[in-house]
Amino acid sequence: MDLVLAFDDDRARAEALAAALGTDSAVIDRHRFPDGETRLRLPPALPAQVVLLCGLEHPNAKLAELLLAAAGARELGAARLVLASPYLAYMRQDIAFTPGEVVSQRHLGRLLAAHFDAVVTVDPHLHRVRTMQEVVPGRGGVALSAAELLGAYIARRVPGALLLGPDEEAAQWVRLAAAGRGLDHAVCVKHRHGDRDVDVALPGASVTGRAVVLFDDVASTGRTLAAAARGAIAAGAASVDVAVTHALFVGDALDQVHTAGVRHVWSSDSVLHASNVVSVLPLLAQALAALH
């Protein structure tokens, strides 16, 4: 790729990614008007191949700017435009659970496919739809995972830990993190009653006397992790830590997790957060170089 382009508040990650790719970086300057609209200013002439780096945490605020920037980049010379999104939002809703629901994953995927030649992301929440190729039809879709990076970190910090997925959908990441690292793993069963109201049942595996690390792709409200932590401690776990790829932790989520008895929280830098301990930028760089 000839250039890594990012919004002005993501300059450091853009520079690091560009250095890993052996190319240059540039920023998109933003001016926000009092009515909430944004004026964007890109470099006036862009090379043929451009990576646009943009995570989609806080997606409703970011999507309009992302799509405007993509359209502007095309006008300014980008013939091949690749989105590198460390966190890709709106991936959970992959079917309509009740009549009339909008399947956000399908429609966001089509929207991105209309603006980008390829989309590279980390641990998208794919369940019934298995690949990023399906999400962005007709384009290059690449799904990377931070699970192995976090698994290696956990193996160093808590040798012999039991990795516990807080719900069935976490099984794919738990298996990856545990593989070849001497870590046992199991998955809980979750019953959701609302956005902030969940029950978690522990698996058959005994947690008594074990160092438990709860492992998931994303932490949002923290209620699922908190419920699983309380259950593990009540069942006799010696300690409970948390590792997630995407540390969203909205509102009081982090406090909820620690109040439930969690000792440490570890995450990747797919979303910038104080808990970041491993970087996904080398994964992104390798995938982008392969696309090039």
pLDDT of res. 193: 45
pLDDT of res. 128: 80
Report d(CA 90, CA 79) in Å as an integer: 27
Report d(CA 220, CA 223) in Å as an integer: 8
Report d(CA 200, CA 256) in Å as an integer: 15
> Angle 112-132-26 (CA atoms, 0-180°, nearest 5)?
50
pLDDT of res. 274: 96
pLDDT of res. 50: 98
Domains present along the chain, CATH in parentheses: 3-144+279-291 (3.40.50.2020), 147-269 (3.40.50.2020)
pLDDT of res. 51: 98
> pLDDT tens digits, residue range 115-129?
999 999 999 988 787
Q: What does R_g of the chain's alpha carbons equal in angstroms?
A: 20
pLDDT < 70: residue spans in the chain: 190-201, 203-204
> pLDDT tens digits, residue range 135-154?
999 999 999 999 999 999 99
pLDDT of res. 197: 53
Q: For residues 218-257, b (16+ Cβ closer than 10 Å) or e, as one string?
A: bbbbbbbbbbbbbbbbeeebebbbbbbbbbbbeeebbebb
| For the chain, the helix, strand and coil percentages under 3-state DSSP, each to the nearest 5 | 35, 30, 40
From the list 209, 212, 207, 144, the residue with the least C-alpha distance to 178 is: 212
From the list 121, 126, 69, 60, the residue with the least C-alpha distance to 92 is: 126
Q: How far apart, in Å, are the Cα atoms of 84 and each of 8, 88, 93, 179?
A: 16, 9, 21, 27
Report d(CA 29, CA 243) in Å as an integer: 34
Choosing from 106, 181, 185, 190, the catalytic residue is 190
- Residue 269, judged by CB atoms within 10 A of its CB (0-12, 13-18, 19+), counts as buried
Does residue 190 carry a catalytic annotation?
yes
- Looking at the DSSP assignment, which residues form a beta bridge with residue 141? 119
